[in-house]
């Protein structure tokens, strides 16, 4: 009997799961730390995949979700945050050689969009924006039932659009990108700046400040914390209005750690979208909701890629 | 024998052309003013189409390029600038009833993108951005060989993205859109403001200021005029860098009247794109060029829509 394997590579851990030819219930799932002093991540990935595949099963195909930019056509990871060994790494060729099965690759935000579209919150929508808000901000687009990848597979970097041209510096080295205004670390940065400037808040005595801790304070009535999410939501809504003018989707799905703060973030996003759309048509029947697959979206997307990629 | 008819509706004139089943050489082409005190534009459009169709020919299909937002699925023009009769007008239904042939509809910027892709500057490129810069700024996107239309057909409003949140007011009523910074009338507006503020320029004595006249002054060495295009190009390049991060195309085609100023605009656009891309990959093999079909791009696109739409 044949199986598909889905792999989700992250900066701290790699996960692999074996799936039957249909359905989303894994036959086996395992994880290992990405980094180890004893071996290269690619070697450990091969062993991880072998570990979830019973010897009597035939691997029909392997789908791989990688962090950072990749080229799905050439099968090369350009860069993977915090994984030096995966810089310009031909992972498709490597895994095919080692495991003797076809391998399909895309980045995790694209595959999360694919997963949410086929098996999550976006089912039945053929025009979909997926926006993941966590340490960084990334995205994936389904347009007319196609995953948008671009000429070299590096499209839909939705966190790297300029929102405030003279705004704070982004991790990529350019000022005022959405990521620099509304990602988790930047919600914390803004809050710290306000505290340093003398703002009063229950957070003034907090040992550490993260978007999660600020979210808790906001739910407990802290005004500064609420304002931090209000502001992040405002900028996300401003960028989202642009994306609506560009893509005219029927649904926007928010994933990533920061989106788990739910209405604290979604309510200001919706207000900002309504303020910024050029015509109410763009927002009227639009659904803005949170991801249904949570941290499994990328892996489910990798499974769908494995299944549909080989049908071509 | 069968023919296809392509129609291009503009605010001042409507054009119709009959084409054979293959090739881009029209059998007949005619135009009429869009507005007349004697009859409605839709009535005149029917007569215009009949005028280009020899009676012995069978109309296989009609493609219509309309200005402003339309819904290609329902065949309705939402609004057409300066044409009150086409507000929420079911043009596809109307023309099908009157002419007894299948009718396909899209907006002119989308169809110009389709035309340039299939028969103009974009041939052979499957990931293409078309940006038209004239009285307004509009766009069309080919992504992986598909024309991007969105759920209700109102996608790719590329002129209506916020570039400077507190910038000048756009025609759509929102501040700082690309159109409000770099369209023809806004290049003229900026120049007038500089002159009113005391800037020295050969344009100080000009009877009227348009982007075309400012372009001529720039080519004659006027520094303020050159600066006006430099600034428009800077903002277009800033927005374009965002579009590259979103779409990762292999070619950007600039159409519309202002793009005819050529290198005066394209050189600063290229400099700004290089400054603003997050990774040189986005710009390295990218072609930025002007449209090849000129004012016929929308009509050729309507022809292609007529031909391919009925193949479905």
Rounded to a whole number of angstroms, the distance from the CA of B107 to the nearest CA of chain A is 14
**pLDDT, position B113:** 98
Measure the CA–CA gap between B97 and A228, rounded to whole angstroms: 57
* pLDDT band at residue A291 using 50, 70 and 90 as cut-offs: very high
A61 strand-pairing partners? A4
With contacts defined as CB-CB under 8 Å, which chain B residues touch A177? 278
The chain-wide mean pLDDT, for chain B, equals: 95
- % of chain B residues with pLDDT over 70: 99
Q: How far apart are CA A43 and CA B215, in angstroms?
A: 60
Parallel, antiparallel, or unpaired for β A76-77 and A70-71?
antiparallel
Closest to A161 (Cβ–Cβ): which among B150, B246, B282?
Answer: B246
CB-CB contact of B56 with B289 (8 Å): no
* pLDDT-derived band at B311, boundaries 50, 70, 90: very low
Say if residue B264's pLDDT is above 50: yes
Alpha helices in chain A (DSSP H): 41-52, 91-99, 108-119, 178-182, 184-196, 211-219, 223-247, 263-276, 281-284, 297-309
- Separation between Cα atoms, residue B45 and residue B299, nearest integer Å: 15
A176 contact partners, CB below 8 Å, separation of at least 6: A162, A163, A164, A165, A166, A167, A168, A170
Residue A312 has pLDDT above 60, yes or no: no
CB contact under 8 A, B278 and A172: yes
Q: Which residues of B touch A158 (CB under 8 A)?
A: 245-246
Are the beta carbons of A156 and B246 separated by less than 8 Å? yes
pLDDT tens figures, A204-241:
999 899 999 999 999 999 999 999 999 999 999 999 99
Q: What's the order of all strands across the beta sheet hosting B137-143?
A: B146-147, B137-143, B127-133, B251-255, B287-290
Model confidence at A88, in pLDDT bands (50, 70, 90)? very high
Q: How many Cβ atoms are within 10 Å of B22's Cβ, its own excluded?
A: 8
Q: If pLDDT is split at 50, 70 and 90, which confidence band does A311 have?
A: very low
Which residue in the set B126, B151, B276 is minimally distant from A162, CB to CB? B276
All domains in chain A, ordered by first residue: 2-112+296-309 (3.30.420.40), 124-291 (3.30.420.40)
pLDDT for B77 equals 96
Q: Which residues contact A40 (CB under 8 A, 6 or more apart)?
A: A85
The pLDDT of residue B194: 96
What pLDDT shows up at residue B251?
98
- From chain B, the residues in CB contact with A248 under 8 A are 149-155
What is the reported pLDDT for B312? 38
Partner residue facing B151 (CB), from A127, A163, A245: A127
**Per-residue model confidence as pLDDT tens digits over B195-231:** 999 999 999 999 899 999 999 999 999 999 999 999 9
Cβ atoms of A117 and A142 closer than 8 Å: yes
- Rounded distance between C-alpha atoms, residue B89 and residue B83, angstroms: 11
């Amino acid at each position: 009997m044949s199986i598909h394997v889905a792999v989700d590579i992250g900066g701290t851990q790699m996960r692999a799961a074996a799936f039957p030819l249909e359905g989303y219930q894994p036959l086996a799932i395992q994880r290992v730390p990405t980094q180890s002093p004893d071996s290269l991540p690619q070697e450990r990935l091969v062993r991880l995949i072998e570990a979830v595949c019973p010897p009597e099963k035939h691997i029909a195909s392997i789908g791989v979700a990688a962090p950072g930019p990749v080229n799905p056509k050439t099968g090369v990871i350009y860069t993977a945050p915090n994984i030096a060994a995966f810089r310009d790494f031909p992972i498709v060729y490597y895994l095919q050689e080692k495991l003797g099965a076809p391998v399909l690759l895309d980045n995790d935000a694209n595959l999360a969009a694919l997963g949410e579209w086929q098996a999550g919150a976006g089912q039945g929508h053929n025009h979909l924006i997926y926006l993941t808000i966590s340490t960084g901000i990334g995205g994936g687009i389904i347009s007319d039932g196609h995953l948008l990848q671009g000429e070299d597979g590096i499209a839909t970097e939705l966190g790297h659009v300029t929102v405030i041209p003279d705004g704070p510096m982004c991790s990529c080295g350019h000022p005022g990108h959405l990521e620099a205004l509304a990602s988790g670390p930047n919600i914390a940065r803004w809050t710290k700046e306000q505290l340093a400037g003398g703002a009063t808040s229950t957070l003034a005595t907090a040992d550490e400040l993260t978007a999660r801790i600020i979210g808790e304070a906001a739910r407990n009535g802290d005004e500064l914390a609420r304002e931090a999410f209000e502001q992040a939501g405002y900028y996300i809504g401003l960028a989202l209005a642009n994306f609506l003018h560009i893509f005219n989707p029927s649904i926007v799905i928010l994933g990533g750690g920061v989106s788990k703060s739910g209405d604290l973030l979604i309510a200001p996003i919706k207000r900002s979208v309504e303020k910024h759309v050029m015509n109410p048509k763009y927002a009227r029947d639009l659904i803005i909701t949170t991801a249904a697959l949570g941290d499994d979206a990328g892996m489910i997307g990798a499974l769908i890629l494995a299944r549909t990629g080989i049908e071509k």
